[in-house]
Structure 1
């Protein structure tokens, strides 16, 4: 049975953060030590990011707000609102991103309508509300009230993988199932000024974004490339529990993102891939760079650098991850869907129609734990 990701829709909020401008704002904050200022400039400049997007309209210099919560443009000062204030913005701004991307993915799935959806899976680690985004998607898209709903919360950057794995399992259990997955992460709600290296690193990387996909095993004609969800694996590294974490504080959620994370991934990525690749006889003994496409979660430039060097990948194979990072930053669990979108948009082999099953994709993401999620997919061409 072939389970396909048949359509994919992505979106970002309208406020654009230019990396150089954001760097200068963070570096000018009161209370920064000389070391803190140097760390801000180093982290922002080394991030390999040009632009990011934010759901916080106040981060635009053009907003005439006399009582700002997040940013005072007149003083150039980053404010420190409460967790409730930040979460209230999540409720207001995340809801339309969930519903609009879900609607777009459903409209792009040929032969499937709202009445066909059997499961909804929503994902986020940057805010909470209930009735939640799963409920909103069902109500606002006019789905059947009997649709089974699931929300994966607070898992971090790798959460798209368990969502897609669950969708695959639902479709294998019921070949008529149609699963709608929707992901929204509003990471910039939790930025703050600090001398803490983890906080500075997070402020230089994280961004907001949304994605949705329709997954089904139904036998329907293809009009555009799709992704076959072939296999998934999960690995917990023996070290690193304290180097990546996501905690709830009084002034927002607090990121722990140690500088040693890329080294841990470097040490353990080949071992994490072994059980995934061993399960496919066609890949047994094949060099890593012999797999056509690599969907690497760009948690940061150094993470992509380590994976590319350790696996011997080409820059062409790394380009979907690097370009996603450059244009959008790290949007937590939504990011890998943007990488998939780039791979789906690549030209067909030799400019001609490819044979179904001809292009393999190996995907990976990293998160608290330290957790490494991996997946094998196939780009199926129409």
Structure 2
């Protein structure tokens, strides 16, 4: 029994910051001249133009969580203070996104939802966002809820895999999958390169998907799930990690991560593609988690992809930054919305602490932009020529 991703919806917090604004803010909070130059260089090379945040503190000197102190430096809120804002903002964003998802996919009524799978690594609350979206949307009380916690940027794949397994085992299952991260709440001003890189890349956002074994509705594109696979990059554990400190969550992010991923990606992909009788040349569309511009460059080079293959990933990175787990779902949604062909084999890839690489083979079915959607004048000329 096949499982289908019928719809993907996305949402962001209301506060948006340009890369130039956040770069100058960060330079203002750092005193050491060499670190200021490093901030300038790193921010200018990210490929990011705008990012969203659940906090408006960065626009003002006297914020609620983040405040500029008398000496010009940024205060360092406790982990508890940051988590309190996560609990409030994540609840609001989760409810808003769940409502949007159901409104955009009317073939599923809220009463039909049987499972909620929620993934997040940037905060903790119990009752959590998945509980509140159930209450505020009026879902059935016997809905099964699962939280996938602290897995990082690749968590969308364990969440979607779990949803697909529920649906393959039960034809009546309808699963709401949600990935929600508020990375900006863990901003830490430091002169360490890995801290500067993390501040320059990460942002806030959320994505949701409706998964079931029900036959998809004609006229709108969807994904058929073929399979998932997990892999670990050898000797890489120390290069990417995410742990809890007294002043927020701490990111360990080595400069060698793009090279480690690039040097192993062909072998890792060979596992899942070979399992389905495919090779890299059989993939029509690539949905790669844009962990950073250097990672995308490595993937493109090592797989011998054309310049347009990762265009959607680069577009998401440019407009939203790295939102951790929801980011690859933003890419998948973008590919659905711009689909012009009736079918495309899609390979989706995400990376996270460990280094862990999660992959999925999906089949995109249906076109969002019909081939007939051409300029009326061009159509009229073609018809005249036939006559």
- TM-score, scaled to structure 2: 0.91
- Residues 246-325 of structure 1: matches in 2 within 5 Å? 246-281=242-277, 283=278, 286=279, 288-325=280-317
- Residues 357-372 of structure 1: matches in 2 within 5 Å? 358-372=343-357
Secondary structure (helix, strand or coil) at the match of 1:157 reads: coil
Q: Cα RMSD over matched residues? A: 1.6
Contact 2:282 2:345 in 1 (8 A): no
**Larger displacement relative to structure 2 (1-10 or 120-129):** 1-10
Q: Give 1:105 shift.
A: 1.4
- Residues 211-250 of structure 1: matches in 2 within 5 Å? 211-250=207-246
| TM-aligned CA distance change 1:88 to 1:34, over 3 Å | same
Q: Give 1:110 shift.
A: 3.4
Q: Give 1:95 shift.
A: 0.6
**Residue 88 of structure 2 corresponds to residue 108 of structure 1:** no
**Structure 2: how far apart are the matches of 1:75 and 1:69?**
17
**Residue 169 of structure 2 corresponds to residue 173 of structure 1:** yes
**Structure 1: how far apart are the matches of 2:163 and 2:150?**
19
Q: Give 1:111 shift.
A: 2.1
| Runs of 5+ unmatched residues, structure 1 | none
- Residues 169-208 of structure 1: matches in 2 within 5 Å? 169-208=165-204
- Residues 90-109 of structure 1: matches in 2 within 5 Å? 90-109=86-105
- Higher-Rg structure is 2
**Structure 2: how far apart are the matches of 1:156 and 1:307?**
20
Q: Give 1:93 shift.
A: 0.6
Secondary structure (helix, strand or coil) at the match of 1:138 reads: helix
**Structure 2: how far apart are the matches of 1:54 and 1:316?**
29
Runs of 4+ with deviation above 3 angstroms: 65-68, 71-77
Partner of 1:13: 13
Q: Give 1:257 shift.
A: 0.7
Q: Give 1:218 shift.
A: 1.1
**Structure 1: how far apart are the matches of 2:34 and 2:136?**
49
Q: Give 1:58 shift.
A: 1.0
**Structure 2: how far apart are the matches of 1:97 and 1:213?**
15
**Larger displacement relative to structure 2 (76-85 or 140-149):** 76-85
Contact 2:57 2:63 in 1 (8 A): no
| Runs of 5+ unmatched residues, structure 2 | 368-387
Residues 207-243 of structure 1: CA deviation (Å, up to 9, x unaligned): 0001111000012423311111111000011111011
Residues 15-66 of structure 1: CA deviation (Å, up to 9, x unaligned): 1111112111211224x433322221111011010000100111224xxx75
| TM-aligned CA distance change 1:319 to 1:123, over 3 Å | same
Secondary structure (helix, strand or coil) at the match of 1:248 reads: strand
Aligned residues: 367
Q: Give 1:305 shift.
A: 0.3
**Structure 1: how far apart are the matches of 2:7 and 2:207?**
11
Contact 1:160 1:334 in 2 (8 A): yes
**Structure 1: how far apart are the matches of 2:349 and 2:55?**
29
Contact 1:15 1:60 in 2 (8 A): no
Contact 1:120 1:147 in 2 (8 A): yes
